[in-house]
Chains A and B, each alone.
Chain A
Amino acid sequence: MKNPKHTKMVLSRETMHLGFVKKVEVLSGSSVRSCFQCGKCSAGCPMRSFMEHPPNRIVRLLQMGQYERVLAGRSIWYCASCETCSTRCPNKIDLAAIMDALRKIAWDAKGPSKESYVQLANRLFIENIRTYGRQYEMRLAAVFNVKSGQFLKDLMLGPKLFSKGKLRMFQAKNRNIAEIEKIFSRIEQMRQKGEAS
């Protein structure tokens, strides 16, 4: 039997999935196709050692139509949005914006991903805005630990932070909470009507 690793890769108009590349380009406002693989983004990326595909390879995979590997992987969730790549790209590719676009596509599709903790943290953070208006750090950390099954995570930090007055036990709802809810629901309605992506 042929080793699948040695199967020839066929590149054609169909396998390039140009439609997906264009979707990312529209969402991010940045070119994907003008990357010539200098690798400067990955050289400066503080998170590359945590990624299975460093930033320049993410772009190459998109160019080659391999977007499913990108969406299912953990790399996009390990991007810290530090903007180093976008700052240094000689072709002015806004890779940080491309990462945002890829996360949005993966998030909306609710597809498989190897990185669930970052997504859970994002979801809880956004829910906090809708419920309280402001971040409630202690609640955020406690709910994250329960939902991720890591009950003991950072347990030792709690008393320390409390003694330093850095944890608020109670948080009043924001006075604009009704307006915040309207922003969330208007965006949902716009998406239902196809007026926004």
Chain B
Amino acid sequence: MNAARNRLHYAYYPGCSLHASAKEYDISTKGLFGALKIGLKEVPGWFCCGATPAHNVDELLSLSLCAKNLALAEEEKGDLAVACAACFSRLKTAQHELGANDIKRKQVEKAIDGPFPHGKKVKHLLQILAEDYGLEGLGAAVKKPLAGLKVACYYGCLLTRPPGVPQIDDAEAPTIMERVIETTGAETVSWSHRLECCGANFTLSRPGVVLKLTGEILASAQAAGADCIIVGCPLCQGNLDIRQKEIEEARGTRFEMPVFYITQLLGLAAGLSKRALGLDSMVVSPEPLLKRKGLL
């Protein structure tokens, strides 16, 4: 293993969901990074980025909350590792907007009573795995190849859009998730709905919206022959997994489609235990599938 890879260390912004409904994302991220010997230290006292509701009605508040969190992240060494696609999108948007717009930056600096920190690089976990750690290293870390597992990589909205902001991959034809998961020997499927929106936070206000959108996503993954879906966002996972039974009832079909966080499948391939991957927290149990494939 090369020396640079051994020195990787990141400040970690998990986001609110990872401490509650998406705790298996937090558990498996820490497990995977531990197995790969990547340092990860949570930003002390981080708070909510404001997510969609804040930017929906109050851009200045949204930018200020993100700017203050970026200032807190300065206290921890390394680039900022973000797990949630929505937090990632908000933090990147704040850097993008405040880097380009002096009027907004001055307002935000007044609101947070301090300078806006420019220096911190914000990276989604996928970027850290694909670019900093590298695909070769990921491949070398595989102890239990996921051969025979057909995976639908689901990006959702905010990992890649809008162009020029997240800068993680092409906005409309990304391949980063496929490249990362293929290092485990898993097979990826080609499918239509990988960049469609799951309805995200409408899960609280208008769950009917979510049922329609996620139903189409699950049907598309199933039609492409996928055994499971992988995601890098707690909102996507929650909507596809927690509501899957309701979706099945609404559509009169069966999916039984486990929805993994990317860190869970990578961790499984790296030989981590069921407990270290938080598999028990998934609502649609992955056990029948993994046993059938001889992976558990």
Contact = CB atoms under 8 A, between A and B. Distances in A.
Interface of A: 27, 29, 46-47, 49-50, 78, 80-84, 86-88, 94, 96, 100, 103-104, 107, 117-118, 120-122, 125-126, 128-129, 133-138, 140-141, 144, 153-154, 157, 160-161, 164-168, 174-176, 179-180, 182-184, 186-187, 190, 195-197
A160 B241 CA distance: 12
Nearest to A81: B52
A154 to B, nearest CB: 7
A177 to B, nearest CB: 8
B210 to A, nearest CB: 10
Interface residues of B, number: 60
Given A46-B197, A129-B65, A137-B20, A81 B56 contact: yes
B44 to A, nearest CB: 8
A179 B23 CA distance: 26
A134 B48 contact: yes
A183 B158 CA distance: 26
Contacts, number: 173
Contact of B200 (A80, A141, A196): A80
Interface in B140-173: 157-158, 161-163, 171-172
A50 B213 CA distance: 11
B248 interface: no
Contact of A94 (B23, B58, B162, B280): B162
Interface in B166-193: 171-172
Given A83-B161, A144-B205, 15 more contacts: A46-B197, A46-B199, A50-B206, A80-B202, A82-B161, A104-B57, A118-B205, A128-B48, A133-B48, A134-B48, A140-B204, A166-B20, A180-B68, A183-B112, A184-B61
A197 B206 CA distance: 29
Interface of B: 16-17, 19-23, 44-45, 47-48, 50-61, 64-65, 68, 72, 101, 107, 110-113, 157-158, 161-163, 171-172, 195-197, 199-202, 204-207, 209, 212-213, 242-243, 280-283
Contacts of A161: 21, 242, 283
B47 A165 contact: no
Rank and list the top 5 A-B pairs by shortest CB-CB distance, nearest first. A82-B157, A82-B197, A135-B16, A121-B205, A83-B161
The listed residue with most A CB atoms (<10 A of its CB), out of B44, B50, B57, B207, is B57
A168 B53 contact: no
